[in-house]
Amino acid sequence: MDPSTASDVLTVHGGTALSGEVRVRGAKNLVPKAMVAALLGHGTSVLHNVPEISDVRIVTGLLEAHGVTVTRGAGPDTLILDPASVEAASDAAVEAHAGTSRIPVLLCGPLLHRLGRAFIPDLGGCKIGDRPIDFHLDALRAFGAVVEKRPEGLLILAPERLRGTHIRLPYPSVGATEQVLLTAVLAEGVTELSNAATEPEIVDLIAVLQKMGAIISVHNDRVVRIIGVDRLDGFTHRALPDRLETASWACAALATGGDIRVVGAQQGEMMTFLNVFRRIGGDFEVDDTPGSESIRFWHSGGQMRALALETDVHPGLSTDWQQPLVVALTQAHGLSIVHETVYEQRLGFTQALNRMGAQIQLYRECLGGSACRFGQRNFQHSAVISGPTKLHGAELTIPDLRAGFSYLIAALAAQGTSMVHGISLIHRGYEDFEAKLSGLGAVVELGVAA
């Protein structure tokens, strides 16, 4: 077990059905990228619906290290970003602010345009597979950038203005698609990106860039075409709601037999999840009154049903929905199959669920769906979940963000007390979650219970 400080442990007394209301703000997987986009503009940008999460603090630190002024607006969830005095940051400052985050890689395009130079320290992020950045580097090279390996990280240089190019991604990577967008908008000429990711957060980033003056069209078959422009201005934008956090609360309602209204959630980005939620035995009600949108999730009362599901790029079932759904499926009757096709090692968290009483068996084969690129590569990326199983409290150490919140759901659904170590990781993507949990009736305390 990792040594963790008392303040990094949450003691969870399980067995309470969560009930009440929580608010979700802007998507963790859009907000940092929109903040990076502000670097491309000549004017000030205003971003609304920004959550208080550590990923936002990391990008704020990185942008400030590069001379961007970042201030809070009149509302507490508004950020004002002024890139008038962009300057090179020291490599040490980039490393210090980035910590274990993968955000620095997305600063490359804007920094190459503004300064001709970008530095990427050794990258972290959640430990859910190899998480290489080869697609990013190949794309930057295609635009004309030069990548130099240094002992402390990668130095990327643009000897002249970057040029539009044709790029085909080997896989529709979210980050690499964003990399191409953030670079192509100011490159000279046209860029055509094939096999692009089209997640809702990417579409929202395209909306941000279009507001700044970019010309981007999304075509059928995952093709995105960008006509480079000479200058971009600032933007004013309201970030789309976090569909991944919303699904986590939905699964918490289902697994604990509770009833949670998620204020701020919208149906459009959630459709694939909502279908699965209903098929398992969850119920929901959408309120789409402008200004007070919400989705209420609850357990419909009958037996929960097992099913086979497969994660995929959008519009498939998001890999970030997989972990909370797995916890819910431990309470479904029968055998469920989960095939993880986006990350090769995103099922390791199930070992801890087994220690809590779940019955989950992992397989190297592609089970229950189509063959994926991990099938022949010795990764345990399919799970068979046998349910329902009674869960009991345990001592748990969080391996990554989504697994972390899923451990909390499991601990809340379990009988007895759990100690969940490493909860600071959850602050990367879930705003104020301890207070939200308490507000829903969960019995949790920071630190080890006396």
Largest CA distance in the chain: 64
* C-alpha span between 49 and 34 (Å, rounded): 12
Which tokens belong to 280?
């398992």
- How are the residues of the chain apportioned to helix, strand and coil, as percentages rounded to the nearest 5? 35, 25, 40
- Closest distance to ligand EPU from the beta carbon of 424 (Å): 15
Contact 331, 388 (CB under 8 A): yes
Contact 206, 177 (CB under 8 A): no
When the beta carbons of 83 and 129 are compared against ligand EPU, the nearer one is 129
CA atoms within 13 A on the CB side of 148: 11
* C-alpha span between 246 and 248 (Å, rounded): 5
* C-alpha span between 352 and 403 (Å, rounded): 10
Which tokens belong to 101?
């985050």
Which tokens belong to 124?
């972290």
Q: In sequence order, which ranges of 20-173 are alpha helices (DSSP H)?
A: 31-37, 54-65, 91-98, 108-115, 134-142
When the beta carbons of 191 and 319 are compared against ligand EPU, the nearer one is 319
- Closest distance to ligand EPU from the beta carbon of 289 (Å): 28
- Closest distance to ligand EPU from the beta carbon of 49 (Å): 17
When the beta carbons of 97 and 299 are compared against ligand EPU, the nearer one is 97
- Closest distance to ligand EPU from the beta carbon of 146 (Å): 18
Q: Is 287 helix (H, G, I), strand (E, B) or coil?
A: strand
Q: Which residues bind ligand EPU (CB under 6 A)?
A: 28-29, 126, 129-136, 171, 173-176, 197, 199, 244, 318-320, 342-343, 401-402, 429
Which tokens belong to 289?
């009154």
When the beta carbons of 87 and 130 are compared against ligand EPU, the nearer one is 130
- Closest distance to ligand EPU from the beta carbon of 42 (Å): 26
CA pseudo-torsion sign 352, 357, 363, 367? negative
* C-alpha span between 256 and 145 (Å, rounded): 51
- Closest distance to ligand EPU from the beta carbon of 169 (Å): 8
Beta strand 190-194 pairing with 166-168: parallel
- Integer-rounded Cα Rg, in Å, for the chain is 22
When the beta carbons of 45 and 319 are compared against ligand EPU, the nearer one is 319
When the beta carbons of 137 and 306 are compared against ligand EPU, the nearer one is 137
List active site positions: 126
- Closest distance to ligand EPU from the beta carbon of 101 (Å): 8
Contact 260, 277 (CB under 8 A): no
When the beta carbons of 97 and 402 are compared against ligand EPU, the nearer one is 402
Q: How far is CA 336 from CA 316, 320, 340, 383, in A?
A: 18, 18, 13, 8
In which element (H, E) is residue 139 found?
helix 134-142
